[in-house]
Each structure stands twice: as C-alpha cells, then as structure tokens.
Structure 1
Amino acid sequence: METILSRKNCHRAKTVRPANEPESTDYTFGFRAVKKHESFMYCAYVHTATAPDGTKVELGEADFKNWVVISWLYEENLEDLYEAGVRAFSGTSQTPDDRAAQYIREYEQEIQEDFKKLPEEDHLTYFKKYHEWVATLFARHSRVMSAMVVGPARFPTAKNKSAGDAYDRAYQEFRAWREKFFKNVERRIETAKPQDQREEEEWLRVRADITSSASTIFGIDTRHEPYNRSLMVSNLYNRMETLAKNGKVEMLRRAAEFIKELNVRFKAEGGKEIFTSRHKFWKLTEKAEEILAKQAENTNRENEVFELYNCTVVKNYEEDRLQIFHEEKPAPDVIALLKREAWKWSRNNVCWQRQLTRNACYSAARVIIGGPNGLSNTEEVSKLAKKLWGGHQE
C-alpha cells in the first residue's frame, strides 16, 4: 500500500511521485528546500520535488495529498506519537502541531545519529526504549500550561510548577538512560574483545599519555617552556603508580622500556632524563608484581562478614572491596554521608562499597557509629575500624 506524503512524514521522505501517475519517474524530495518568507517571529518554507531532468516542483502542505512516498531517508520513526505531541504542546504553544512535528523530527535525527555509534544488533532495543521515553515526555509536557496560551484568569500557578518540575525530572532521567545505554554497550563490546587486543589498546593509551607528558618535559628542558618540570614529572609518576596499584605488570614493563628509549633520545638532543636512574619509578614494576600476587592470593580467600547494628559489613577479597549492606534503605543524610566518604552504590552487589583499604575501614566505622553528625566517640570509631581491618595482610 502506497503512503501518502503528509506533514507527519515529509521530513524523512527521500523520493516521491505524483499519486495519479503510477508510471512516473521518481522525484527527489527536498524538505523545506525553499524559504518563502521570513520575519522576526516566523519563517515560511515550501518543499520541492525534483525530476531526474532537474525540473523542480514546489509543494505546499496542501499539495501533499497528491504525492506518494517511494523511498525514505530512514525507516525508524515516531510518527505514531504525532497526536500525543500535539496534545503535549496544546497548553504552551499557539501552533502545537508545528511544535509536535519539530520535536519528533529532532528526536528522530538524534536516533539516527545514535544508530551510527551503536552496533546494529542494539538498534531495535534502543529504538523501542527511546520511543517509550518520548511518549512519557509528551505525556508529562501535556500537563504544562502557559498563561499566554490558556489565559491568565484563575491560572493554576502551583499546579503548573509541579507539572513543569515533573517534566524536567523525566527529561533528566531520559538523558541519564541514554548515557547509561551507551556505556553498557561500550562495556559489553570491550569485554567481548580478545585479551590481547584489550592489552594492546590499553598500551597505546598509556604510550600516548607518556609521550604527551615527555614532550612537555623535553620542551621545559630545551625551550624553557613556562611549566613546572617537577610537577610534570610527579604527575607522570602518579599515573604510572596507579598502573602499579592495579597490578598492571606488563604495562609498566613496556612503559619502563619506552621511557628508557626516551631518556636516551632526550639526552642526545640536549635534554635531561625524564626519570633518573635513582627515581622510585623504576621500582613500580616490582610493586605491581607484588600487588598482582596479592590479588591472586585474595581470589581464593574467604570473605569476612561482620553483623553490625542494622547493617552487614563484608570484606570481599575477590573483588577487593569493603561492602556495606543495609537491611533497609538508609536515611537521606546517611546516603549523603556515604557519598561524601567516597562510597559508591553498586547495583550489581546491591550495597555501598569502597576499595578494601585501612582508610575504608575507618570510613565505615565513622558512617556506622558516627552517623551524619559525626558525634560518636573517637575511641569507639577507632575500635570498630581496627576490628574491621583485623589481620588484613597489606
């Protein structure tokens, strides 16, 4: 069945032909191709249908019923939400149909841009959820009004503010969902890569990081660039130390070899060594090996569980995390304290957690005993922290 050109679908029409000329060649459709009128508040456009010989026909919306769409720029669309879009802007716009068409067009353009970043296998899932969110946003916006449109008499200001806030919250949640979807896909793709590929890509990032810092340091030494050399060297060391703390032995071995090469080159070109032979950088590989061995040991170590007040604290050795499980959702001020103390909520483990360190144990003690006001006895906090840390092997 042929699809008649309409204001709902004209923005994604690619080729069209006259409805009463089934043997006609296809015309290339130009959405808003010609600007007819422009004023401070309004622009008027007409569309075009271009024949293969270059002949153009200008089309207004009144002419759409005489044309059928032959092909589309893209298939996925939100056309079925047009009426919901009109309702969404009936209380805030003098031309809600134009606003609905505009929003649907912009949402569809974003979907097409997003598809370029997503594997094809994720397109359908993404589109369905995106469609649900747009329907929700239209429904929320339909409760928002403007005194300029509905009139100022007995205007429900408080109710309208509540409706506006509800729409704003939904929009923020929609954007958060979209960002999370991309992150989940990126994480899945990364996990599916072969180990060798992941390591090589990680090394390329580390190498680029070293190269950037080393170039600046060389510039300080030879061109007197206005940077603090000690600070640049310290920053580079700190990033390499982070690799050691994560047990990245191979990364550090390759980094050490690369920096040795740079040291030789820089000295030959009138610069200085990035790290001298006595610098603690050269012991980081050994440190990473110790941490990696400790991680392997902890993998087979049984977790320790502490039942405390209305929560359970777990020393999860395999994940290297100290975890706090609450029987009920903590009060808002307790959650604020946890965030302030650098605890992160884990959806997978359904708990608050931090890296398993002595500081984490003291933090847990402050949260559990001290509470939001931190009024507890310092001795009690210290006692609980030592109990949690116990015989932990550093």
Structure 2
Amino acid sequence: MTNSLYPHGSRRTPLPPAAVTSLQDTAAPSPASAPAAATPPATGQASARAGAGKPGQRDAFFDNAKYLAIVFVAMGHCWEPLTDGSRSAEALYMFVYTFHMPAFIIISGYFSRSFDMRPDRLRRLITGVAVPYILFEIAYTLFKRTAGGDPDHPFSLLDPWFLTWFLVALFVWRLTTPLWKIIRWPVPVALAVAVLASVSPDIGDDLDLQRVLQFLPFFVLGLFMKPEHFQLVRRREVRILSVPIVAAALVLAYWAAPRMTSAWFYHRDSAQELGAPWWAGVVMTLALLGCSLVLTACFFAWVPRRKMWFTVLGAGTLYGYLLHGFLAKGSRFWGWFDADWVHEPYGQIAVTVIAAAVVTVLCTPPVQRIFRFAMEPKMEWAFKKDATQLARARNRP
C-alpha cells in the first residue's frame, strides 16, 4: 500500500532512528547494550531493579556482581601458590573456584540474550572479543618468553594461555546464541554436551574446547534467565538461608582439600586425563554444576542492589581480568611467593588484600581509557559501511 499523498513510493518511509549503544565490557555487557524489545518483560519494581529499566541505564546490581566476582578471581589466583602448604588456603581456593567463573558466565549469558547475526553486533563481537584475544595472546606470549624465562614458548591462536581462554569461550558461546534460542530444551542439551566433553579425552587442547564445552551450561542458563529469577535469589529469606549453606560449603571444602584435586574445578580436562574412570566425569560434572549453582545463588543473594563506591568499576571488569594476569603470572616468575612470611597466616591475609586492591585499580576508568585501544577498538576502517546507516545519513537533513 502506498501513501496517498506520495503515490508509487515517491517519498520513502523514514528509516528508524539509530540505536543508541553505550560502552560495555565484553565479559558482561551492560543492560544498555540490549534493546528494550529483547529484554524479558518485567513489571513494577522488578523491572526497575533487574536491568529492564530505561535504555542506556546501567543496573547497579550487575555491575556490583561483576566487580565482586573479579575480586574473587584475583584472590583465587593469589591463593594458588599457597595451597601446597596450607589446607585452609586450598579449601578457600576450591570454594571460590566453585562459583566465581560460573557467576561471571551466567551474567554473560544473561546479557547476550539479544545477540543475533546482525552486522553491528557481529562487529562488536569481533572488536570486543576476537581482537582483544589476539592482542593479549601476543602480549602473554611475549611476557612468558621474557619475564617467564621461556624464549621458546610458541605463539598459537589455537592454544589460549592462562586467562585468554575466556575470550575464546565467549566468542563461541555468543556465536551459538541463535542456536540455543530455537531448540526445545537448551539447558538440558547444554548439560549433555558438558557431560560428554568431560568423558572425551580426544577433544584435545585446541581453543580450550574442554572449558568451552564444560562451562557451556552456565552460559545457556544465563540466556534464559529473566529479571524475576535474580529477584528470587535476592529475597531476604534466601540471604538468610545462604549463610548456613556457605558455612557448610567451607567445611566441606576443608574436608575435601587433601582428598581431591582442585583440577576438577578448572573444567579443562576430561576425567581420564585426571586419572579417573570415565564415569567419574559424569558424576563430577553434575555434582559440581549443582554446587556451583547453589553457591552462585548465595553469591547473588549478597550482592548489593544499590549503587556503591565500586559500582562504577563493574564496567571495567574485563580490563581487570586480563591485565591482572601479568602480575598473577609475574609473581610466580619473579619468586614473590618464595618468602617464608607469605605462607604465614598474616602473610596470606596481606597477599589477599593486595590482590583485591590491584584488581580494583585495574578496573578503574583511567586504566580503561589507557587500554581501550586494545580492549574496545572501534576499527571502523576494517568493516564495510552498513547499508541502513548509509541510507539514514543520506536522508538526514
């Protein structure tokens, strides 16, 4: 049907307004990056509190959760050299590794719900995930060759080193998002994939596919979570119930510390590669998934809902994640943990505080501005102009 005032299409229908996008960290995009139509409906207070608010407005809860999760990541890395001589450090290490990355990945999935194969989103995936992966893989390789005293350490984009596995995983998970949206039972299928991966030693180390597949259920779960699910775990009774659950988890971790290897929590090896029978992969995958979901819910229950002094740092968590890796590995290369005082209780507390402070600084806006060229490059020169944007520019008065 044509407009009666302008028959035969002599005047074009105005193009829709350009979508306003805001700066986001690739580990967990801000609510502003998702169009309102792609956000699950919520009503009243739940909508205002769970990230379904006005476009361009960040939700303090998710920024707080991302910041606290990255602090736990940094503390876990500083505890790793202490685990050999301290049962308490090993217990805390296993406890934190049960939920810190699952929490991060669930949030990543939650804010990937609107991802499709639209050109602008593919460009953001390349500039915000693929390019940082390449740059940091090069930087980590050079760092290990120089500071690590391994001049023959090979450079390979197929073999992520240390922290860069998460960028590979995020790239793969986001690309498969449209697939999970069309199948009937996405979470059970993702869980089946994780279980099969845990008993498949032939997968190998390329692209850290074991981690990609074994952590997959958390991302898919996040894809199908709604604001009311986060409201549910933030209820007062859940916070109260989480206290004895966390206490019991710490006791269980202290008991398990000398009896099992913490390698199960990395999800980077099959059961056979860990010296266990194949069926142990099935049992451990399901058991760890359950433990991770429970402790992640406890973590979310205690994340502040209001704006805090560290809320602004939630937008820079990927900066802190990747940059603190140089210090985490450098501390081993340079023998910082060889000092006896570090292994004393007061030394372990001091190291923990230092790790939290360092990663906090690395998430700050000044650090983001310095390293934005590597983490969020625009790279407009590398992409073709979008036809819609060109048409909009021509019609702009």
- TM class by shorter-chain length? under 0.3
- Higher strand fraction: Structure 1 or Structure 2? 1
Report the TM-score when normalising by structure 2. Answer: 0.19
TM-score, scaled to structure 1:
0.20
Tell me: higher relative CO, structure 1 or 2? Use CA pairs within 8 A at least 6 residues apart: 2
Higher helix share: 2
Q: Of the two, which has the highest radius of gyration?
A: 1
